[in-house]
Amino acid sequence: MPPLTGVKVLDLTNVLAGPYCSYQLALLGADVVKAELPGQGDLARRLGPEADLNRARLGASFLAQNAGKKSIELDLKTEEGKARFEELAGEADVLLENFRAGVLDRLGFGWDRLRALNPRLVYCAISGFGQDGPMSQAPAYDQIIQGLSGMMAVTGTPDTAPVRVGFPVCDTIGGLTAALHICAALAGREESGQGVFLDVSMLEAAISAMGWTVSNYMVSGVETAPMGDQNATAAPSGTFRAADGPLNIAANRQQQFETLCRLVGRPELLTDPRFAGREARKAHREELNKQLNAALGQRTVREWEQLLTPAGVPAARIVTVSEALELEQLAHRGFCTDLPFPDGSDRRLRVSGSGVLHDGQPLRPEAPPPRLGQHTHEPVWKSAT
């Protein structure tokens, strides 16, 4: 049985950070009810590469993050909507929203009222910058957070930076951070009996996730420079050129470097003082890469991958998203799930999993994403059905 079975989540979120969070909770077994604005719904319903799906309020961006949830139409600016919300919030274990800071409070449902209504409620608010502070009212999308976190400044090469990361990484990190802390709050509630207010800042979550890029400056005062496909912490570590295309190699340890040099037929590099140790190799990265690229050009990417990987040298081809989704490893672990299409057509809907096996089994959504308002006039919690 999934670990969050029986947990009731009232989800007021839109687009990605919040819906990604509640999708992770749904995969873990939570009963997620998505409250959407009547006639409009989540903006993600209108986002995706297929215009027909967007018009049908079934955009690909929505379908990707909302399988297994229920949908009700709810207008918090009407008395009827407020009454329904109060009823649902009183029954819920988790309330999740990603409005601009203070919006729910101005609608009459601040934390004080919600806590009085439901003392065991875990209320999680995801916003760009947090609920207070000088930037709390500024609008924030993923690209804004990428820029303000320093992420774009270290992405790309010295000639091309700043570059946006190719997917909404800050939204995703914000959603994962929220899901982690919701699970922690639910566990803590078992001991205290009390709910908690979680104030998630996407900016802070993004900076926290940047790891060494941030700690190098905080600890040593070193500002990270963009290095393209190269790893600043080691050499040779980055993207190299095989006979038929790019190849990633991460020979971050001395033994891996020694094995690499032998297998590419360049053992003399091991006695070159410029490449004798980690710091020396980093200082002479450009020349080392030149030497290795000349040797790697003698075989194909696949040949090098099959030679280096079994010898303990991390090496792999670079693939497209479609190729990644066809990797045998994903199929072996049951990462993707096929579901009926929400509109009842014969089309297949494939959605991703969480990347974690529970006792050897992947967690899968139980139903396709909901149509807008599909469950408005039905009992929404599983325990009530």
Model pLDDT for residues 331-359, shown as the tens digit of each residue? 999 999 999 999 999 999 999 999 999 99
Nearest-5° angle of CA 349, CA 350, CA 355? Answer: 150
Band (382; pLDDT cuts 50, 70, 90): confident
Domain match, 196 and 315 both: no
* SS3 state of residue 148: helix
What interhelical angle do 202-209 and 142-149 show, nearest 10? 50
Same-domain check for residues 116 and 181: yes
**Catalytically annotated residues:** 171
The whole-angstrom separation of Cα 213 and Cα 256 is 24
Burial of 138 (0-12, 13-18, 19+ CB in 10 A): middle
User: If pLDDT is split at 50, 70 and 90, which confidence band does 228 have?
Assistant: very high
Residue 60 in any domain: the answer is yes
Closest-CA residue to 29 (of 341, 334, 335, 358): 358
- For the chain, how many structural domains are there in total? 2
CA–CA distances in Å: residue 312 to residues 297, 299, 308 = 20, 18, 7
Cα–Cα distance, 183 to 7 (Å, whole number): 10
Round the CA-based radius of gyration of the chain to a whole number and report it: 25
Structure token pair of residue 131: 């609920």
Q: Are residues 243 and 291 in the same domain?
A: yes
Residue 226 lies in a domain: no
Q: Which of 319, 347, 363 is the C-terminal boundary of a domain? A: 319
Domain match, 165 and 111 both: yes
| pTM for this entry | 0.94
Q: Is residue 202 part of a domain?
A: yes
> What CATH number is associated with residue 168?
3.40.50.10540
Burial (0-12, 13-18, 19+ Cβ within 10 Å), 314: middle
Span 239-296, pLDDT tens digits:
999 999 999 999 999 999 999 999 999 999 999 999 999 999 999 999 999 999 999 9
| 352 within 8 A of 363, measured Cβ to Cβ | no
Tell me, yes or no, whether 176 and 45 share the same domain.
yes
Inside any domain, residue 220: no
CB of 228 closer than 8 Å to CB of 159: no
**Distance from C-alpha of 354 to C-alpha of 30, rounded to nearest angstrom:** 14
Shared domain for 375 and 260, answered yes or no, is: no
**How far separated are the first and last CA of the chain, in Å rounded?**
19
Please report whether residue 231 resides in a domain.
no
Does the pLDDT at position 384 exceed 70? no
Closest-CA residue to 89 (of 107, 102, 101): 107
pLDDT-derived band at 56, boundaries 50, 70, 90 = very high
> What band does 385 get if pLDDT is binned at 50, 70 and 90?
very low
Are residue 152 and residue 40 in the same domain, yes or no? Answer: yes
- Residue 230, in any domain of the structure: no
Q: Which of residues 319, 344, 372 is at a domain's end?
A: 319
**How many CB atoms within 10 Å of residue 136?**
17
Q: 383: pLDDT confidence band, cut at 50, 70 and 90?
A: low
Residue 151 sits in the same domain as residue 72 = yes
CB 257 within 8 A of CB 280: no
- Residue 217 maps to a domain: no
Is residue 191 pLDDT above 90, yes or no? yes
Write out the residue range of the structural domain in which residue 356 sits: 8-209+332-384
Residue 77 resides in a domain: yes
Look up the CATH number of the domain holding residue 244: 3.30.1540.10
Residue 326 has pLDDT above 80, yes or no: yes
The 10 Å Cβ neighbour count of residue 258 is 15
Please spell the DSSP secondary structure of 88-144, one letter per residue: HHHH-SEEEE-PSTTHHHHTT--HHHHHHH-TT-EEEEEESS-SSSTTTTS---HHH
Residues 312 and 341 in one domain: no
Average pLDDT, the chain: 96
Pair (92, 135) in one structural domain = yes
CA-to-CA dists, residue 231 to 213, 234, 372, angstroms: 11, 6, 45
Same domain, yes or no: 14 and 162:
yes
Same domain for 125 and 268?
no
